[in-house]
Amino acid sequence: MCISMLRFIGYGWIDEFFVDPPLHFKYWGFAWVEVLPRAEMHALFWILAALALGIMLGVYHRLAAALFAAGFSYLQLIDVATYLNHYYLASLLALLLAFSPAHRAFSVDAFRHRNRRAFAVPAFWLYLFRFQVGVVYTFAGLAKAQSDWLVHAQPLRIWLGSHTDLPVLGALFTLPGAPTVMSWAGFGFDTSVSFWLLLHRTRRFAYPALLVFHALTGVLFPIGMFPVIMTLAALVFFPPAWPLRLWARWYPAITQQEHRVRQGDRRAALPRAALAVGALYCTLQIAVPLRFLTYGGNVLWHEQGMRFSWRVMVREKNASVTYLVREKTTGRVRHVNPRSYVTRIQEREIATQPDLVLQLAHHIRDDFQRRGLGPVEVRVDAFVSLNGRRLARLIDPQVDLGAVRDGLGKATWILPSPSEPPPHTQPI
Q: Using the rule CB under 8 A, is 375 a contact of another protein?
A: no
Q: Which of residues 347-366 bind another protein (CB under 8 A)?
A: 347-348
Q: What are phi and psi of 150, to 5 degrees?
A: -85, -35
Q: Which stretch binds another protein (CB under 8 A): 122-130, 187-195, 210-218, 292-300?
A: 210-218
Shortest distance in whole angstroms from residue 171 CB to another protein: 9
Torsion sign over Cα 161, 166, 170, 171: positive
Question: Taking a C-beta distance cutoff of 8 angstroms, is the pair 308, 287 a contact?
Answer: no
Binding string, residues 79-98; x marks residues near another protein by CB under 8 A: -----xxx------------
The residue among 192 and 385 lying less far from another protein, judged by its C-beta, is 385
Asked if 177 interacts with another protein (CB under 8 A), we say no
218 touching another protein, by CB under 8 A: yes
Distance between first and last Cα of the chain: 36
Q: Which is nearer to another protein, 60 or 196 (CB)?
A: 196
Stretch that binds another protein, among 8-16, 53-61, 178-186, 282-290 (CB under 8 A): 8-16
* Closest to another protein by CB, 112 or 390: 390
Q: Does 159 bind another protein (CB under 8 A)?
A: yes
Q: Which is nearer to another protein, 238 or 247 (CB)?
A: 238
Interface region with another protein, contact rule CB under 8 A, candidates 56-64, 103-111, 278-286, 338-346: 338-346
Determine which residue in the list 123, 334, 403, 408 makes contact with another protein, applying CB under 8 A: 334
Tell me: does residue 116 bind another protein (CB under 8 A): no
369 binds another protein per the rule CB under 8 A: no
Pairing of strands 392-393, 333-336: unpaired
Nearer to another protein, 57 or 169 (CB): 169
Could you say whether residue 423 binds another protein (CB under 8 A)?
yes
Among 165, 177, 273, 412, binds another protein (CB under 8 A): 165
Q: Candidates 69, 93, 193, 223: give the one binding another protein (CB under 8 A).
A: 223
Count of residues near another protein by CB under 8 A: 75
Tell me how far, at minimum, the Cβ of 120 lies from another protein, in Å: 17
Scanning 45-53, 294-302, 337-345, 403-411 for contacts with another protein by CB under 8 A, the matching segment is: 337-345
Among 391, 400, 413, 421, binds another protein (CB under 8 A): 391
Q: What is the 3-state secondary structure (H, E, C) of the chain?
A: CHHHHHHHHHHCHHHHHHHCCCCCCCCCCCCCCCCCCHHHHHHHHHHHHHHHHHHHHCCCHHHHHHHHHHHHHHHHHHCHHHCCHHHHHHHHHHHHHHHCCHHHCCCHHHHHCHHHCCCCCCHHHHHHHHHHHHHHHHHHHHCCCCHHHHCCCCCHHHHHHHHCCCCCHHHHHCCCCHHHHHHHHHHHHHHHHHHHHHCHHHHHHHHHHHHHHHHHHHHHCCCCCHHHHHHHHHHHHCCCCHHHHHHHCCCCCHHHHHHHHHHCCCCCCCCHHHHHHHHHHHHHHHHHHHHHHHCCCCHHHHCCCCCCCCCCCCCCEEEEEEEEEEECCCCCEEEECHHHCCCHHHHHHHCCCHHHHHHHHHHHHHHHHHCCCCCEEEEEEEEEEECCCCCEECECCCCCHHHCCCCCCCCCCECCCCCCCCCCCCCC
- Does residue 249 touch another protein according to CB under 8 A? no
| Residue 186 burial (CB count, 10 A) | 22
CA-to-CA distance for 262 and 314, rounded, in angstroms? 41
Of 114 and 204, the one with the shorter C-beta distance to another protein is 204
| 133 makes contact with another protein (CB under 8 A) | no
Is 345 among the residues that bind another protein (CB under 8 A)? yes
Position among 68, 387, 401, 402 found at the interface with another protein (CB under 8 A): 387
Among 99, 383, 406, 421, binds another protein (CB under 8 A): 383
Binding mask 20-59 for another protein (x = CB under 8 A): ----------------------------------------
C-alpha to C-alpha distances, 241 to 124, 250, 254, 256, 264, nearest whole angstrom: 15, 15, 11, 12, 11
Residue 393 within binding range of another protein, rule CB under 8 A? no
Site track 298-317 with another protein (rule: CB under 8 A), x = hit: --------------xx--xx
Whose Cβ is closer to another protein: residue 270's or residue 324's? 324
